[in-house]
Amino acid sequence: MSIRLSHIKPIHLKVFLLIIYAVGVVGITCYTDRFISLTPFNLLLTCALLMFYYPVNNPQFIRYAIFLFTAGFAVEMLGVQTGKIFGNYYYGYALGYKLKDVPLIIGVNWVMLILATHSIAHKLSQHMFIGSAIGAALMVFLDYFIEQVASQYAFWHWHQDVIPLQNYIAWFIISFLFHGLGYVLNFKKENSMAVFIFVLQLSFFIILNLVNFFHQ
């Protein structure tokens, strides 16, 4: 008997993701080198489950997702090569295969995070500028907690281990523009997995921050 994917309820996928992230926290904390290499697969899985509840038959949504991947990757590539966007940084081994010194999975990460925060922002405000500011603020808020542990887990490394203010400003501006484009395009913005995935990502990195704090 086959299972129709359309019959899978969001609660089932949420429980599944919660288990995956819980195992990830324990694994990364106790067996860092073994589990950290699974990060790209985790990001792919999370993004796929988020995309599952979007109208993938909508050409405007497909173009938006492709744009987020391409533009996000391009921004990161320019950032790494010039140091003039986010500051001076380079990627570690944790995010997998790299093209021009940037992991390909980072494009997927931009897609996942922008779509999740865009869904939340659009629900809070249908005004393009207000909503884009909300979405960008959510992106920066999450990034703050990621940045505190990024170097320890070989995601990326900052010059002299100093996270520049420029990084957060650039994140806000770029995210604001990406969200603004999302408001212009016509596709279903609400996603039943968006809030959960954002909170799950945020909780994951807050827990890692707490673990590091108590291990110091």
150 in Cβ contact with 162 (< 8 Å)? no
Q: How do residues 53-68 score in pLDDT, each as one tens digit?
A: 887 789 999 999 999 9
Q: How do residues 122-173 score in pLDDT, each as one tens digit?
A: 999 999 999 999 999 999 999 999 999 999 999 999 999 999 999 999 999 9
103 beta partners: 98
* Average pLDDT for the chain: 93
- Residue 215 forms part of a structural domain: no
Mean pLDDT, residues 62-90: 97
Q: What percent of the chain has pLDDT over 90?
A: 82
- Residue 1 forms part of a structural domain: no
Is pLDDT at 8 greater than 90 in this prediction? no
Lookup result for tokens 């807050």: 206
- Residue 182 forms part of a structural domain: yes
- Residue 211 forms part of a structural domain: no
Domain count within the chain: 1
Lookup result for tokens 């990084």: 167
Q: Which domain holds residue 61?
A: 8-206
Helices (H), 52-185: 59-82, 105-124, 128-150, 165-184
- Residue 107 forms part of a structural domain: yes
Tell how far CA 186 is from the center of its chain: 22
Q: What percent of the chain has pLDDT over 70?
A: 96
pLDDT the model gives residue 7: 66
- Residue 214 forms part of a structural domain: no
* pLDDT confidence band for 9 (50 / 70 / 90): confident
pLDDT the model gives residue 3: 42
107 in Cβ contact with 75 (< 8 Å)? no
* pLDDT confidence band for 216 (50 / 70 / 90): low
Q: With b meaning 16 or more CB within 10 Å and e meaning fewer, what string describes 138-167?
A: bbbebbbbbbbbbeebbbbebeeeebeeeb
Q: How do residues 203-215 score in pLDDT, each as one tens digit?
A: 999 999 999 888 7
Q: 118 Cβ partners below 8 Å, 6+ apart?
A: 135, 179, 182, 189, 194
Q: How do residues 22-35 score in pLDDT, each as one tens digit?
A: 999 999 888 777 78
Mean pLDDT, residues 169-187: 97
pLDDT the model gives residue 185: 96
pLDDT the model gives residue 146: 97
* pLDDT confidence band for 2 (50 / 70 / 90): very low
- Residue 113 forms part of a structural domain: yes
- Residue 216 forms part of a structural domain: no
